[in-house]
Amino acid sequence: MECSLSRCHSQAVATASLRKKLLLLFTMLLLWGYILYSCAGFCVSLPGPVHGSARQRAAAAAAAASASAAAYKVASDPDPFVSAPALRPRLVPRVPAGEVEDEEEEPDPPGGHSPRPPELNYSSFGTKKLPQAIIIGVKKGGTRALLEFLRVHPDIRAVGAEPHFFDRHFDKGIEWYKDLMPKTLDGQVTMEKTPSYYVTKETPPRIHAMSKDAKLIVVVRDPVTRAISDYTQTLSKKPDIPSLIDTSWSAIQIGIYAKHLENWLQYFPMRQILFVSGERLISDPAGELGKVQDFLGLKRIITDKHFYFNQTKGFPCLKKPEGSSKPHCLGKTKGRTHPNIDPEVVQRLRDFYRPFNMKFYQMTGQNFGWD
């Protein structure tokens, strides 16, 4: 079909302008799509200005979600504070050494990861990895407090419940274990805590076979107080436990830290094991957390400003976990009132542990001040 020169020209101009408009519209659509895609994942609950790369921001958001989930858990606890158990001086339960210890009383729900509101679910990001760092002990040392405090760090992702893979579920295979872990982005550290690992002979070679570079963290506490804490927990479940000090009782054996350390040193060098003071974790949580962050090769993000001392609970709590404005104390099974133990019994325990403590100080090069 023919057209006049001027008509053809105006048609050509109209087509070109329409093309331009369409191109502009398409570019805008693309841009909006990109912005929406980015925001859907990362913008939902960033707690405040977060600096750094997109990856760091994503990591910060993931940690915020984790901390927030922990706060949800505590908020749903009907009684966040302790109640005094019956006093049972002189009683120490007798349980054969090596018998399976009871579970932590307030793990996260089965399935491992902390409960997390759907809009804060970042689990689709990253990949599951085997842990690079494990809190291996000790039972009643303050392991839950350490893990919950560490979870504030944007570069730490941890499974909430105790997996007990290397001591109880080893037959389930390494893939089962890996599948319990939360997804992580590059540069984030995957962690778990199972306090019974420290005293289980099979565990060091098994962890070594998984990774000879694994970083191991042990929260140690005065073995006398630790034993009483363990006893208090057993008492809360079985009020009729027998009354005797018996050094073969596993709760007493757990406190012979030097003996257990020898097993670990057959597989791991001392530089790969960090000993956290359970006492300082209470008196100076930020100081202990500083050392742990250094050990893990992470920036010191968790500092004094994250903690406050809750007078009612008598323990430090998280002031404002990232992603939440609610303070976060551990639940009622953490920081229980201990029964009054006969001073004679306490003295016997002190005397029993003294030489093992000295050996432990010597092996670690640290004086924990328990005597």
Ligand X SMILES: Nc1ncnc2c1ncn2[C@@H]1O[C@H](COP(=O)(O)OS(=O)(=O)O)[C@@H](OP(=O)(O)O)[C@H]1O
Query: Is 305 designated active site?
Result: no
Give the span between the Cα atoms of 259 and 138, in whole angstroms: 13
- 188 versus 196: smaller Cβ distance to ligand X: 196
- Is 333 a known ligand-binding residue? no
8 Å CB contact between 155 and 184: no
- Is 348 a known ligand-binding residue? no
How do beta strands 315-318 and 307-310 pair?
antiparallel
- Is 127 a known ligand-binding residue? no
Give the span between the Cα atoms of 362 and 203, in whole angstroms: 23
Q: Which residues of the chain form contacts with ligand X (CB under 6 A)?
A: 104, 139-145, 195, 229, 232, 281-282, 315-316, 330, 334-336
Name the minimum Å distance from CB 294 to ligand X: 20
Give the span between the Cα atoms of 49 and 43, in whole angstroms: 11
Name the minimum Å distance from CB 369 to ligand X: 16
- 68 versus 229: smaller Cβ distance to ligand X: 229
Name the minimum Å distance from CB 315 to ligand X: 4
Give the span between the Cα atoms of 190 and 156, in whole angstroms: 6
Name the minimum Å distance from CB 69 to ligand X: 18
Name the minimum Å distance from CB 367 to ligand X: 20
8 Å CB contact between 63 and 152: yes
Q: Give which of 64, 274, 39 is closest to 155, Cα–Cα.
A: 64
With H, G, I as helix, E, B as strand and everything else as coil, classify residue 246: coil
Rounded (10°) angle between helices 257-265 and 343-364: 30
- 143 versus 190: smaller Cβ distance to ligand X: 143
CB within 8 Å of 352: residues ≥ 6 apart: 247, 252
- 62 versus 70: smaller Cβ distance to ligand X: 70
Distances (CA, A) of 80 to 226, 315, 333, 336: 22, 12, 9, 11
- 184 versus 250: smaller Cβ distance to ligand X: 250
- Is 142 a known ligand-binding residue? yes
Question: Of 73, 140, 193, 215, which is the active-site residue?
Answer: 140
Q: Give which of 272, 134, 106 is closest to 192, Cα–Cα.
A: 134
- Is 334 a known ligand-binding residue? yes
Binding site as annotated, residues for 3'-phosphoadenylyl sulfate: 140-144, 221, 229, 334-338
Q: Which residues are catalytic?
A: 140
Binding site as annotated, residues: 140-144, 221, 229, 334-338
